């Protein structure tokens, strides 16, 4: 009998197929022919092929937009939002619009032509996450922005281009996204009722249960969420309560990078370099002192969601918001523990 499971934060139902559960080898992730763009605009030496850098971690004495960097942040050459201009909110009859103001940046994670983050040293991964922290703190100063999403699209089936070079993106938005609001509202309802953070309770139950626990390293856990939407979906959370990723300390980034490297290496091995996305979920900027905004620090808990793209979203998912997951998270976690 398939099982319907409810996400304890946002109340989304998923259907977990328990009868004929799919194992790692049952998935044939879509393989796009990767006709590589040459020369690669993200390799050291090709800095002139990108817009001028916004920020870089580079060796002392090296010049901006020249080799000598470890991490480089550049504006997207195809930005979905524009950095200039004001919001100019305005109606159109019954409709509402505003100008597409925002920031869209690309974080180049290595000067070398490496295609998969799990092949980078964890010290290099740490530099990427330090850069995210710095960009989040810097962009908060721009009062037009309400939220910044940091994310990665790995391979074309996960929305990337055919350029292999390891990178991630961030988009700063002038409105707090609906899906973030859903998490904030759900977490607040839970806190109001239980006087505890729902994510802290999830971590505590998963550490007791062990069935969905993938890894635990120096204050971070990787779990297969109980109501996972996708096969091998994995969440990484800090055990210590914190709503805001940008407050993370250097030693915590070190531990986070270790667990990220392990989890992505295991996915890579188990699922043969699958397309995947990761998204950083953290507290929004500029929190008014009313409604669910006023208590975000106690209610919310930052975390990372990693979703391998092995299944397709079809009419049923679009029409209902239900998801069908053919691999129970308990089995996914077991595979990811044992690989």
Contact pick of 21, 175, 296, 339 for a copy of itself (by CB under 8 A): 175
When the beta carbons of 58 and 231 are compared against a copy of itself, the nearer one is 231
For position 199 contacting a copy of itself by CB under 8 A, the verdict is no
d(CA 70, CA 185): 39
Nearer to a copy of itself (CB atom), residue 18 or residue 272: 18
Q: Is residue 17 within the footprint of a copy of itself (CB under 8 A)?
A: yes
CB closer to a copy of itself, 56 vs 101:
101
**Residue numbers 106-135 binding a copy of itself by CB under 8 A:** none
Q: Which residues between 235 and 274 bind a copy of itself (CB under 8 A)? A: none
> Does 75 contact a copy of itself by CB under 8 A?
no
If the CB atoms of residues 1 and 60 are measured against a copy of itself, the closer one turns out to be 1
The pairing of strands 220-223 and 213-217 is: antiparallel
The closest of 112, 91, 215, 106 to 165, measured between CA atoms, is 112
Short-list 303, 179, 181, CA closest to 241: 303
Cβ of residue 192: shortest distance to a copy of itself, in angstroms? Answer: 15
Dump the DSSP string for 195-240.
Answer: SS-HHHHHHHHHHHH-TTEEEEETTEEEE--TT-SSTT-EEEEESS
Give yes or no for residue 207 binding a copy of itself (CB under 8 A): no
Angle at 151 between CA 159 and CA 226, to 5 degrees: 95
Q: CA torsion, points 224, 152, 154, 125, in degrees to nearest 10? A: -80
Stretch that binds a copy of itself, among 201-209, 237-245, 256-264, 294-302 (CB under 8 A): 201-209
Cβ at position 5, least distance to a copy of itself in Å: 5
- Sole window of 39-47, 75-83, 257-265, 331-339 interacting with a copy of itself (rule: CB under 8 A): 75-83
37 binds a copy of itself (CB under 8 A): no
Alpha carbon distances (Å) from 44 to 35, 57, 113, 127? 20, 13, 9, 16
Find the shortest distance in angstroms from Cβ 127 to a copy of itself. Answer: 20
Which of 8, 238 has the CB closer to a copy of itself? Answer: 8
Give Cα separations from 229 to 109, 303, 319 (angstroms): 28, 16, 15
């Amino acid at each position: 009998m398939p099982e319907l499971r409810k996400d304890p934060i946002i109340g989304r139902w998923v259907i977990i197929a328990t009868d004929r559960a799919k194992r790692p080898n049952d998935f044939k992730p879509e393989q796009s022919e990767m006709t590589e763009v040459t020369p690669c605009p993200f390799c050291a030496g090709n800095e002139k092929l990108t817009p001028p850098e916004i920020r870089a971690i580079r060796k002392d004495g090296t010049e901006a937009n020249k080799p000598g960097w470890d991490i480089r942040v550049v504006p997207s050459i195809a930005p979905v939002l524009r950095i200039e201009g004001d919001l100019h909110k305005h109606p159109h009859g019954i409709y509402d619009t505003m100008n597409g103001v925002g920031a869209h940046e690309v974080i180049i994670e290595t000067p070398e032509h490496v295609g998969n983050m799990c092949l980078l040293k964890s010290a290099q991964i740490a530099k990427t996450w330090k850069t995210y922290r710095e960009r989040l703190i810097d962009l908060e100063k721009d009062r037009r922005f309400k939220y910044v999403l940091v994310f990665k699209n790995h391979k074309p089936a996960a929305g990337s281009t055919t350029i292999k070079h390891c990178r991630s993106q961030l988009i700063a938005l002038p409105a707090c996204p609906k899906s973030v609001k859903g998490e904030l509202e759900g977490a607040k309802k839970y806190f109001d009722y239980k006087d505890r953070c729902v994510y802290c309770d999830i971590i505590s139950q998963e550490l007791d249960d062990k069935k969905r626990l993938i890894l635990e390293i120096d204050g971070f856990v990787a779990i297969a969420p109980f109501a996972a939407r996708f096969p091998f979906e994995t969440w990484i959370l800090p055990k210590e309560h914190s709503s805001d990723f940008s407050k993370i300390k250097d030693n915590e980034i070190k531990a986070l990078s270790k667990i990220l490297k392990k989890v992505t290496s295991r996915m890579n091995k188990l699922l043969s370099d699958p397309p995947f996305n990761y998204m950083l979920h953290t507290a929004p900027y500029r929190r008014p002192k009313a409604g669910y905004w006023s208590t975000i620090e106690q209610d919310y808990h930052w975390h990372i969601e990693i979703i391998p793209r092995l299944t397709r979203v079809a009419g049923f998912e679009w029409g209902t918001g239900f998801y069908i997951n053919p691999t129970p998270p308990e089995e996914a976690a077991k595979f990811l523990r044992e690989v």
